[in-house]
């Protein structure tokens, strides 16, 4: 992730890539490696991570997330803009879109404009879920459950298969048709048996790994439904009004791991447990980066319940964007904007 590794001299110009070009340069395996390294560096104190910025556009049911970071040693730092506009399908547009700007970590000059339409956000979010499962789930996974049959539910399952090999999968979504479509698509894509569950409780029955990816405003998963030995990753709560898990589940978990104590105390599942007086910040076992760096242990018992609370961090965006930019320059992909910017 260093300038020496990039094989390129400092650049004063910038390169623009469209979504298809970005997709051609990075996939789940590369994203997981980049995100794992970024979290490890965070655990060792080698990242610069400012707070995220949120912009609400209530009149159009829109929310915009602005996140950025620098990972020490990376050729580029990045700032990501990702938006979710719920009414877009009425206009024939995708709900989620976005772009990433990269800047030379050596000069501060703009180095890239990645017009990815939210692809890198989806990919890096899936990678973080896979990393959490790799560090916290049991090695032998008989059954996985996915709560939420949207785009991220697909990325999460595909990424999970990079670290664990479940024999079957259950999917639940409040939209039954969406769950049926997910099951058909992901069964064909992965070769696994993906069955539709009639409820969250049914989806969790017998699950070794659970990933929830919903924007739920109130908990859909209760403590008593989660069996001993389960690993549960919740990533739908990325601002204060969202909550997927019963706060008691976090308090009862053998290990609660967060991507950032600071962010999760404000925006994640953790903040609901704190507000309810069920936990203090000292009850958090570790940040994901501390476990990735080997500074704190992951799972230590086959019977313990582990929970990962992931809000999504700018280091993930920087990790995948830096990888894409270095690959683009090496492969001659994209168009230079020298003299135009």
The one catalytic residue among 67, 80, 242, 255: 80
CB 324, CB 316: distance < 8 Å: no
Q: Name the burial class of residue 217, with classes exposed (0-12), middle (13-18) and buried (19+) by CB atoms within 10 angstroms of its CB.
A: exposed
Dihedral sign for Cα atoms in the order 309, 315, 321, 324: negative
Computed on alpha carbons and rounded to an integer, the radius of gyration of the chain in Å comes to 19
Helix, strand, coil content of the chain in percent (nearest 5): 35, 25, 40
3-state secondary structure 146-204: EECCCHHHHHHHHHHCCCCCCCEEEEECCCHHHHHHHHHHHHHHHCCEEEECCCHHHHH
Strands 62-71, 76-85: pairing is antiparallel
In angstroms, the CA 149 to CA 104 distance is 37
Active site residue 189: no
Q: Give the total residue count for the chain.
A: 341
Strands 143-147, 168-172: pairing is parallel
In angstroms, the CA 126 to CA 102 distance is 21
* Angle, CA 107 vertex, CA 101 and CA 113 arms, to 5°: 15
CB 166, CB 160: distance < 8 Å: yes
Residues marked active site are found at 80
């Amino acid at each position: 992730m260093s300038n020496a590794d990039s094989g390129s001299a400092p650049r004063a110009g910038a390169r623009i890539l469209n979504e298809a070009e970005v997709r051609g340069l990075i996939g789940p395996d590369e994203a997981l490696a980049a995100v794992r390294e970024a979290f490890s560096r965070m655990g060792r104190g080698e990242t610069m991570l400012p707070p995220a910025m949120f912009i609400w556009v209530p009149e159009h049911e829109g929310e915009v997330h602005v996140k950025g970071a620098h990972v020490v040693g990376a050729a580029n730092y990045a700032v990501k803009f990702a938006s979710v506009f719920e009414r877009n399908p009425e206009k024939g547009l995708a709900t989620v879109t976005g772009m990433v700007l990269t800047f030379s970590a050596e000069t501060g000059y703009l180095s890239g404009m990645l017009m990815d339409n939210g692809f890198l956000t989806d990919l890096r979010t899936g990678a973080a879920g896979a990393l959490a499962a790799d560090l916290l789930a049991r090695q032998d996974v008989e059954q996985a459950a996915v709560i939420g049959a949207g785009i991220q539910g697909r990325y999460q399952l595909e990424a999970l298969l990079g670290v664990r090999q479940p024999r079957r999968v259950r999917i639940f979504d409040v939209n039954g048709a969406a769950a049926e479509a997910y099951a058909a698509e992901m069964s064909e894509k992965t070769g696994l048996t993906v069955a539709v569950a009639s409820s969250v409780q049914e989806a969790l029955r017998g699950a070794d790994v659970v990933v929830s990816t919903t924007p739920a405003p109130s908990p859909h998963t209760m403590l008593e439904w989660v069996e001993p030995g389960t690993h549960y990753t919740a990533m739908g709560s990325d601002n204060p009004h969202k909550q997927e898990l019963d706060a008691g589940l976090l308090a009862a978990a053998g290990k609660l791991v967060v991507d950032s104590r600071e962010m999760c105390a404000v925006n994640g599942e953790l903040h609901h447990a704190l507000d309810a007086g069920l936990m203090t910040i000292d009850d958090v076992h570790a940040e994901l980066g501390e476990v990735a760096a080997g500074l704190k242990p992951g799972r230590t018992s086959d019977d313990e319940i582990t929970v990962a609370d992931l809000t999504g961090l700018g280091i993930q965006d920087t990790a995948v964007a830096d990888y894409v930019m270095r690959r683009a320059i090496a492969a001659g992909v994209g168009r230079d904007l020298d003299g135009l910017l």
